[in-house]
Amino acid sequence: MANSLPIPPDAGDGPGDKTRVLVALGAALLIGALAFYFVRGANRAPQPAAEAQTGLGPEERAYVANVGVDRLEISRAENFLHQEVTTISGEITNGGNRALAGVELTIEFYDEMNQIAQRETRSLFGPPGPPIPAGDHREFEVSFEHISTAWNMRAPAIKVTALQFSPAK
């Protein structure tokens, strides 16, 4: 003889259960909206006031006009992992009267609508390396393993966003 077990009533039939489902759905929508807001805000182009938030103090800001970024070349090649690597090489020229211990560049890649598709900041020539003497130049090279597919394949904008003066001797 088979034993039969009673089947419990459906747990989703009460009025309180519908309220819980609606509250959970509302909470999920709120979390999704907040996530969208923060992610979209992180990718938004900076406002003009953001220019003042660079790593340049008053002394460095006055000196940056003496620093040139010249002889830029962009190349693309495949690395040993079969990934495409983009390399930007060029020359930093110190046209001022102070030695530079370090230079930081911000490189901005744009899309077809001339909006920033990707922004990268790279430090060059930081200590313990030798400084760039006044009136001299130094070659540099920065590599990118990933650049946004939205990049318009035109030359990126490159700005000096921080300087470090070499201590006076």
> 162 pLDDT band (50/70/90 cuts)?
very high
Report the DSSP beta bridge partners of residue 76: 86
Three-state SS at 61: helix
pLDDT tens, 7-46? 555 555 556 677 777 777 767 766 766 666 666 554 544 4
- Largest Cα separation within the chain, whole Å, is 102
Task: Please give the Cα distance from 36 to 24 (Å, whole number).
Answer: 18
Residues with Cβ within 8 Å of 69's Cβ and at least 6 positions away in sequence, in order, are 90, 91, 92, 93, 105, 158, 160
pLDDT at 46: 47
> 54 pLDDT band (50/70/90 cuts)?
low
pLDDT tens, 97-144? 999 999 999 999 999 999 999 999 999 887 677 899 999 999 999 999
Q: Which fold has domain 51-165?
A: Immunoglobulin-like (2.60.40)
Tell me the mean pLDDT in the region 80-85.
82
Which residue in this structure is represented by tokens 């089947």?
A: 7
Tell me the mean pLDDT in the region 146-167.
92
The tokens of 10 are what? 């459906």
Provide the residue type at 123 as one letter: S
For residues 111 and 152, the answer to whether their CB atoms sit within 8 Å is yes
Task: Please give the Cα distance from 13 to 109 (Å, whole number).
Answer: 56
